[in-house]
Structure 1
Amino acid sequence: MPSLTEKLNAHGFESNDDYEFQVRCLLETPTSGIRALNIEGDGGRRKTAFANALARALDFPQILYHDFTDTHPPLPDVILPPSQDELGREEPPIEPFDRLVSEACALSEGDPTVLVLDQLQAADFREHIRLHRLIKDGFWEVRGGSYFANPNRLLIVLISEQPLYHALRQESFRLWIGRQSERQLVYHPADFGLGSDARNVFEALTQLFEALGAAPTRREFTRLLDDLRLHVRTVEHLRLSLYGRLEAIEREALSDPRLREIQHRLLEAARSWLVTEHIELADARPPPDLNQGQR
């Protein structure tokens, strides 16, 4: 059975970090209200990617998303005509945020539902207070009507670039998503089906990653290896490949003079590896048939 890390990776979020423990605390600890996950970190939209991948990895059939910075939210499936009171005054349409939260409450009565609320720092502070009441008491009010949520089937994910309202934070489980993995993996040739002739390349790559403070994922490392074998022949090639393959690498850092020696060492190791690889491939060819011309 695939691990949570593998499922997250399959749904577009790559990381060396394991979030199994945090998710277990979130979903399996008893609670009196609606479960809420507060995603913090310096990962920018990686936080959004994690929220979406987590909802899909956990097989939630209903996934709803709202971005408070979106000035053009999608139209609802059904557009109701404006209503009027007894004096003929028209009521304004229901705000997209209210409509989405009401829908999440209604869906949770039948299906496990995830409601992702992104860029909460752009929301009116009164919405933070309303969300706190929803998480704690389990219902959402819109124009005098109440929509009740099933606390066993609704998960609310809160993403903000600034600290949440204190009471809202107290009702949430906090999880950190950084610009890159916190866990630094050390890869070995055998992990990729390679022989000991590639050992110097892997050692040089490890030293370079340590100097850069980088923690590439397995997929990033695999693609970088392919570039070293097929394309990289100069230091400039190497820098372009590193920037192209590693998400968290800063372009300016690759030109740091202190990295030049390590980069040259990596290139030399890669050249030696390619020469050895070509020789081994040549030796692996069957010997020519000396009797072929006599037949």
Structure 2
Amino acid sequence: MPSLTEKLTEHGFESNDDYEFQVRCLLETPTSGIRALNIEGDGERRKTAFANALARALDFPQILYHDFTETHPPLPDVILPPSQDELGREEPPIEPFDRIVSEACAQSEGDPTVLILDQLQAADFREHIRLQRLIKDGFWEVRGGSYFANPNRLLIVLISEAPLYHALRQESFRLWIGRQSERQLVYHPADFDLGPEAQLVFDALTHLFEALGAAPTRREFTRLLNDLRLHVRTTDHLRLSLYGRLEVIERESLSDPRLQEVQQQILEAAQTWLVSEHIELADERPDPDPNADPDPNQKQR
């Protein structure tokens, strides 16, 4: 069975970090209210990518999403006509936030549902208070009507670039998503079905990653190796490949004069590796069999 990390990768979130423990704490610890996950970190939209990938990795059939910075939210599937009171005054339409929370509560009565609330720092502080009450009490009020949620089937994910309201934070499990993996993996040629002749390339790349403070994922590293094998022939090529393949590398850092020597070492090691690989492939050709019948199409001398 694929691990959570593999499932997250499959659904668009790559990381060297393992979130199995945090997710188990979130989902398997008894709670009296609705489970809520507070995603913090400096990963910017990586937090959003994690939330969506997690919902899909956990096979939630209903995934609802709301971004408080969205100025033109999508229209609902069903548009209701405006209602009027006894004096003929029209009530304003229900706000997109109220609509999607109400829908999440209703959906949770039948199916496991995830409600992702993104960019909460842009929401009115009073909405933080309402969310805390929803998580604690299990229902959402809109214009005098109450929408009850099934606490066993609803998960609320809160994403904010600023600290949440204290009481709302206390009702949530907090998880950190950084702009890159915190876990630095050291790769070896055998991990990629390569021989020891590639070790110098791996050593030089590890040196560069340590200098840059970068932690490439396995897929990023695999693509970089393919570039070194097929395309990279100059240090300019190497910089372009590094910037193109590794999400966390800043373009300006690759031009740092202090890194030129290690970049040159990577290039030289890659060239030696390619020569060794070429010779090895040539040596694998079978020697001609002296007892084999001659080619009938070959001209006799």
TM category, shorter: over 0.9
1:15 partnered with 2:19: no
Q: How does 1:227-238 map to 2 (within 5 A)?
A: 227-238=227-238
Question: Aligned partner of 2:158: which letter?
Answer: L
Separation in structure 2 between the aligned mates of residue 65 and residue 216 of structure 1, nearest angstrom: 29
Q: Deviations over 1:99-123 (max 9, x none)?
A: 0000000010111000000000000
Q: How does 1:136-285 map to 2 (within 5 A)?
A: 136-285=136-285
Match of 2:51 in 1: 51
Equivalent position SS for 1:179: coil
Question: Aligned partner of 2:126: which letter?
Answer: R
Give, in angstroms, the shift of residue 287 of structure 1: 3.7
Separation in structure 2 between the aligned mates of residue 294 and residue 204 of structure 1, nearest angstrom: 53
1:76 partnered with 2:76: yes
1:42 partnered with 2:42: yes
Separation in structure 1 between the aligned mates of residue 245 and residue 12 of structure 2, nearest angstrom: 15
Q: How does 1:85-164 map to 2 (within 5 A)?
A: 85-164=85-164
Q: Which runs of 5+ in 2 are unaligned?
A: none
Question: Aligned partner of 1:38: which letter?
Answer: N
Give, in angstroms, the shift of residue 282 of structure 1: 1.4
Separation in structure 2 between the aligned mates of residue 43 and residue 289 of structure 1, nearest angstrom: 62
Separation in structure 2 between the aligned mates of residue 252 and residue 294 of structure 1, nearest angstrom: 63
Separation in structure 1 between the aligned mates of residue 247 and residue 162 of structure 2, nearest angstrom: 23
Separation in structure 2 between the aligned mates of residue 38 and residue 251 of structure 1, nearest angstrom: 31
Separation in structure 2 between the aligned mates of residue 294 and residue 284 of structure 1, nearest angstrom: 28
**Percent same amino acid among aligned pairs?**
87
TM-score by length of 1: 0.98
Q: Deviations over 1:7-46 (max 9, x none)?
A: 0010000000000000000001111110000000000100
Equivalent position SS for 1:12: coil
Q: Deviations over 1:57-84 (max 9, x none)?
A: 0000000000000011110111011111
Question: Aligned partner of 1:73: which letter?
Answer: P
Separation in structure 2 between the aligned mates of residue 285 and residue 75 of structure 1, nearest angstrom: 65
Q: Which runs of 5+ in 1 are unaligned?
A: none
Separation in structure 2 between the aligned mates of residue 275 and residue 266 of structure 1, nearest angstrom: 14
